[in-house]
Structure 1
Amino acid sequence: MNILKPNLLFPLLLSLLLLSPISCSILRSSADLADSYDFIIVGAGPGGSALSNRLSENPSFSVLLIEAGGANNDSLTINVPLLCTKLTPNTQWDWNYTTTPQTHLNNRVLPFPRGIGLGGTSAVNCLVYTRGSKQNIDKWAELTNDSSWGWDSMLPYFKKSEKFNFPVDKHNITNQFNPLFHGFDGYIGVSVPGASRSIDSRIINTTQLLPSQFPFTVDMNTGDQLGVGWVQALIDQGVRSSSVAYLSPSVLARPNLDVLLHTRVSRVLPSSGNTFTTVEFSNHNNSLQTLTASKELILSAGSIGTPSILLHSGIGNATTLSSLGIPPLLNLPSVGQNLTDHIGVSTTYLVNSTLTYDTVLRNTSLSTHLLHQWLTTKTGINVDTSENHLAFLRLPSNSTVLRTFGDPAAGNETAHFEFLFQNGLSQFTPSGNYLNIPIGNVSPKSSGSVTINSTDPLSSPLINPNLLSSPIDIHILRHAILTSREFINSPAWSQYILQDLTNASSVSELDEFIRANAVSFFHPVSTASMSPYGVTEWGVVDPDLRVKGAKGLRIVDASVAPSLPAAHTSAAVYAIAEHAADIIKSAYHTK
């Protein structure tokens, strides 16, 4: 059910449109393209948007950014942080992918949201900004044999991308973040909650009552992530901050940057030998066209789009490609493999309160008032995402699960699971008030693949995250559910919880609940992974992000991450893009 009736929503939409003009410098037809560009970037998500900005800082570089979708700047649903759950699946802002039947989830076919349009998935996610542990990022350095991908080297890039801004309610945030680990002059807005919720005090009180089990952590983005703390979210003064922030009017006004919308890239083509600098595309469903970059072609189409383009281009497992009738041009068997994603499940409780979001959803007048408040003052509950607090926690060190299966996390200071504390449900319910706790396995051992079964480059790829294929993953989720119950059984929640709607207590019941309800958390990585220079047995790109065995072709998006951080992945991709920009500029002896 929509929050607002159409006749009430229209005036508010009109107000937003008047505040958000479409930049006239964005191209909508390939007829407007220049004859050539130094760099052609495919995909305007976090990787492509950030990279196009940084490369075009050099006025001697000409840059073209190609995006399959539209501008995405006329949407109230995108811009209002609290409406993030309305953006996917099955919407105009979503590629509307689904998975293959998941064997370990009762053969269910799951939605697999990926954003389309400027901002990519950063325009449709639920905004949580987390970097992972220091161990997570140091693992990248270990896997690539390149220290520049470790925490100490990457922290400046996390900070460079960030524009930390103080919450709109102007409350004291002394114990909610550590300024030493944040940037204030970047493009991507990051903030702590700007409106309080009725469960905030209960969560903080629980950390005080049970500090050994649930320690309070001031800032989870310092590299030390374990504990319970305040959410940091991709929000700039009460408004969603997506990678579109890198494409501000002043940036789009640069004469050396063009952005072409509504354009599907089908393949990358060799311009000579193993030099892949030509892109094949169609604009507004017209016939195929090609354009060649004079320096480099850069894929930033994401963990699903990038391997799909590579495979259709003849870059991948030569045997598999030949069986499909696609001539193999570059044998890289790791293309599309090692898809790694978080998996999670929500547990819901009926609560003794009316101060939850459920009450708002049932009251059209209240919903209208709160949305008008956001439009006019950028204050109120709509300025935040779905939760004000989260927790990153581990299995006990003496856990039989860890002794049996080994530790899948990057180290002993890296989380196994995550809680998000939501004060109500995001969907309309006719009665009741609820506490919802999405629980994620953030150090999964399972991995899957992105493959193709058609020679049509515009057909949807086969997405198989292979969730719960490793036995330890369901053990972690089961333990996480039990741990969340311990959290809300503390005295801080006395007389608040009325009923656990999970209806599962035994091991078999919990496992049945997980297999029937778990979903992807939509943080896929590693489908075009980095590996060390000279290594050909695995990996798709070298640590400088050049495709192995190719010239003129790089990848800059989540697909190159060699392992999945115990974190929501937007922050990592922005840092990857900032690092990539310096790598590329250095290759051409410029800054």
Structure 2
Amino acid sequence: MVLSRAWSLTIAVLWMAASPASAAIYDQYSDLPAGREYDFVIAGGGTAGLAIADRLSTNSSFRVLVLEAGTSSVGVFNITVPYFSTRPSLQFDWNLTTTVQSGLGDRITFFPRGFILGGSSSVNGMFYTRGSAADFDRFAAVTGDEGWSWDSIQQYLALNENLVPPATNPNTHGEFDPAVHFTNGTVDVSLPSFPQSIDSKVLQAGDELGGSFSFNLDVNSGLPLGLGWLPRTIDSQGRRSSSATAYLGYAAKNNLDVLVNARVARVTPTSHSKNSASGLSFRTVEFSQDITNSTFFQVTATKEVIICGGVVGSPQILLNSGIGNSTTLLAAGIPPLVDLPSVGQNLSDQAFIANAFLANTTDTYDDINRNDTVSNEDLTTWLGESGQPGDVQGAGPLGDTFANQISYHRVSDELIEKYGDFSAGVTSPHLEIYPGNGFFIVPPPTGFYMSMTTVVVSPASRGSITINGSDPFAPPLIDPAYLTADFDIAAMKEAIAMVYRFFNASVWDGYILAPPEGLPSLSEFFTLNATDLDLQLETYIRNSTGTSAHPVGTVAMSAVNASYGVVDPDLRVKGVNGLRVVDASVFPFVTCSHTQVPVYVFAERAAKLIAAYWQEV
């Protein structure tokens, strides 16, 4: 789609007005204030990094520097429009791929990761899902730290969430439970603003079927099972609310600096420490602003370095620093300094399929991403310039993300008896299904679709991330090991069977014309021989599965005295001083949700832990 110059300028102005940066944002290291010392250096300005930076900088005695590998998000208006998240923005992505995946028919898959200030919160689908209470209680049990329990993290949800009215939907009664939400936090959250044509059908089907599709007033209550409305991180004017827009804030701070285009290579020992098992303190960060040459800069934190590089970047930085499995490091040509074999292990991601069914309608979102005339009309509406009475900013389909409802399900008892239960508990789901009024991402040239996305949110498969030699900027070897555990493929088969049962509700009569290629028709699904159906499903799943972009676990936290894990419950790297990791890589298990909200929770608590420690020292 081509935007006119007038529209480009208008959106740029709206974006700048929405997110004036509190921090000074610099493009070049030489532009940083001369001679300035920093108490905290944060390696990564993504979802967690900017939240921590903002919270620490509220103490005027702390000086904070953020090093972000990507570009600044200020003035980048395409990421402001929520529905444009369905359009690939490769210039804002690391463009990484996996190794060959045996569970996916030896395919290599895309592995998205935000390459822009705000990280993945600047480019994700904006789903606001917290996970189950059992997810956080399991974190507490595994680490021996009650501070990670569901009851304990409510204070951090309150710091993060600012529930606001959606742009054009003044009545959200019956779509959420006000008692479980917060209205004084930092990140704007809203219910759906623009009605999809399938909304009433989805809810009617849930009412008709009941069971696992029974209505859940609020999937964010800690008990997510069932079908409910889907909140998203979108403000009251229909704009994305990200870590960058929310935590960089409005009030200027002279103690917070952000340097973009700064790719961290490693952390290095600054001094010896009597208080760490290795005898080392890691407080110096080495980074480059041009990876095509050998020019590196160094900056040293007087208090701590906080790595927020994400599930890929954080283990990569640690390994390049000599922190990891000593045998692996020696093989890569890196002198081992701290033997932590768990670095890069325990990679867990949620297998994902966007199942697109051909629908008997023309009232879908498909033309937004394939017809410039429709897209431009919708953009005019979103800008509030359509000339209609009551025009408001954020109106129309572009002010929303691609799903209005979401449902969570447990697998059958038969599957659990056969393979075990990989969820956090009996009130926690294994599967997620959400409907979308159109083809996910870029639709085919013709046809109108309804998507039923299926996700295995409590997977058994575990993979790894490791470096590919001694070049700190070489793309790492990413092996999520999708569908290598028998439970995951069996669970995805049950998810697809649930979709067919959902479409068997009478409200869908005549609505679905054809299934995705490789799947049987609605009538055939229930009449096929069980063996033939199972084989057809397995072939389809292995050929269609990709990432949900929810990887976790590669720098997992564990109990203080555990023989495994990488960070302690306070997120300090085991055996060293001056170094913490805060992002999704520290989750020992993936939450049953989209991971954005749990990352914010970890960042909020980490900031409290860090500030409290240094105020006591």
Q: Same fold (TM over 0.5)?
A: yes
Alignment deviations for residues 517-546 of structure 1 (CA, whole Å, 9 cap, x no partner): 1001110111111101122x2110001111
Choose which of 8, 13, 28 in structure 1 pairs with 2:8: 13
**TM-score, L = length of structure 2:** 0.92
Aligned to 1:210: 209
2:325 maps to 1:281: no
**1:468 & 1:542 partners in 2: Cα distance?**
30
Change (3 A) 1:241 1:590: farther
Aligned to 1:240: 240
**2:249 & 2:151 partners in 1: Cα distance?**
33
2:446 maps to 1:431: yes
**2:369 & 2:258 partners in 1: Cα distance?**
38
Q: Retained in 2: the 8 A contact 1:78–1:87? A: no
**2:120 & 2:135 partners in 1: Cα distance?**
22
Deviation at 1:73, TM superposition (A): 2.8
Aligned to 1:296: 304
Q: How does 1:286-365 map to 2 (within 5 A)?
A: 287-365=295-373
The secondary structure found in structure 2 opposite 1:31 is helix
The secondary structure found in structure 1 opposite 2:382 is helix
Q: Retained in 2: the 8 A contact 1:159–1:181? A: no
Q: Retained in 1: the 8 A contact 2:15–2:76? A: no
**1:553 & 1:62 partners in 2: Cα distance?**
17
Q: How does 1:40-59 map to 2 (within 5 A)?
A: 40-59=41-60
Identify which range, 363-372 or 198-207, moves more after superposition: 363-372
Aligned to 2:106: 107
Deviation at 1:220, TM superposition (A): 0.6
Aligned to 1:579: 605
**2:406 & 2:249 partners in 1: Cα distance?**
34
**2:191 & 2:247 partners in 1: Cα distance?**
24
Quick one: which amino acid aligns to residue 60 of structure 2? P
The secondary structure found in structure 2 opposite 1:585 is helix
2:424 maps to 1:410: yes
Choose which of 421, 436, 439 in structure 1 pairs with 2:435: 421
Deviation at 1:119, TM superposition (A): 0.7
Aligned to 2:549: 522
Identify which range, 446-455 or 76-85, moves more after superposition: 76-85
**1:18 & 1:170 partners in 2: Cα distance?**
25
Change (3 A) 1:347 1:270: same
Q: Retained in 2: the 8 A contact 1:53–1:246? A: no
Quick one: which amino acid aligns to residue 549 of structure 1? G
Deviation at 1:372, TM superposition (A): 1.3
**1:249 & 1:209 partners in 2: Cα distance?**
46
**1:401 & 1:385 partners in 2: Cα distance?**
33
Change (3 A) 1:87 1:79: farther
The secondary structure found in structure 2 opposite 1:279 is strand
**2:339 & 2:437 partners in 1: Cα distance?**
50
2:133 maps to 1:119: no
Deviation at 1:362, TM superposition (A): 4.8
Aligned to 1:72: 73
Aligned to 1:440: 455
Quick one: which amino acid aligns to residue 45 of structure 2? A
Choose which of 560, 584, 587 in structure 2 pairs with 1:558: 584
Aligned to 1:227: 226
Q: How does 1:500-539 map to 2 (within 5 A)?
A: 500-505=515-520, 506-535=533-562, 537-539=563-565
Alignment deviations for residues 172-191 of structure 1 (CA, whole Å, 9 cap, x no partner): 11211112222211111111
Quick one: which amino acid aligns to residue 128 of structure 2? Y
Deviation at 1:354, TM superposition (A): 0.8
Aligned to 1:26: 25
Alignment deviations for residues 383-436 of structure 1 (CA, whole Å, 9 cap, x no partner): 11011111111113xx32211111111111111111121101131422211111
The secondary structure found in structure 2 opposite 1:92 is helix
**TM-score, L = length of structure 1:** 0.96
Gaps of 5+ in 1: none
Change (3 A) 1:247 1:410: closer
Q: Retained in 1: the 8 A contact 2:212–2:225? A: no
Q: Retained in 2: the 8 A contact 1:318–1:331? A: yes
Deviation at 1:208, TM superposition (A): 1.4
Q: Retained in 2: the 8 A contact 1:130–1:232? A: yes
Deviation at 1:77, TM superposition (A): 2.5
Q: Retained in 2: the 8 A contact 1:27–1:258? A: yes
Alignment deviations for residues 220-250 of structure 1 (CA, whole Å, 9 cap, x no partner): 1110100011111111121111111344353
Q: Retained in 2: the 8 A contact 1:187–1:245? A: no
**2:26 & 2:108 partners in 1: Cα distance?**
37
Q: CA RMSD in A?
A: 1.6
**1:411 & 1:247 partners in 2: Cα distance?**
33
Alignment deviations for residues 51-82 of structure 1 (CA, whole Å, 9 cap, x no partner): 00000000010100110111123333211111
Gaps of 5+ in 2: 273-279, 385-392, 521-532
Change (3 A) 1:428 1:406: closer
- Matched-pair identity in %: 41
**1:590 & 1:170 partners in 2: Cα distance?**
47
The secondary structure found in structure 2 opposite 1:26 is strand
**2:104 & 2:222 partners in 1: Cα distance?**
33
**1:20 & 1:494 partners in 2: Cα distance?**
43
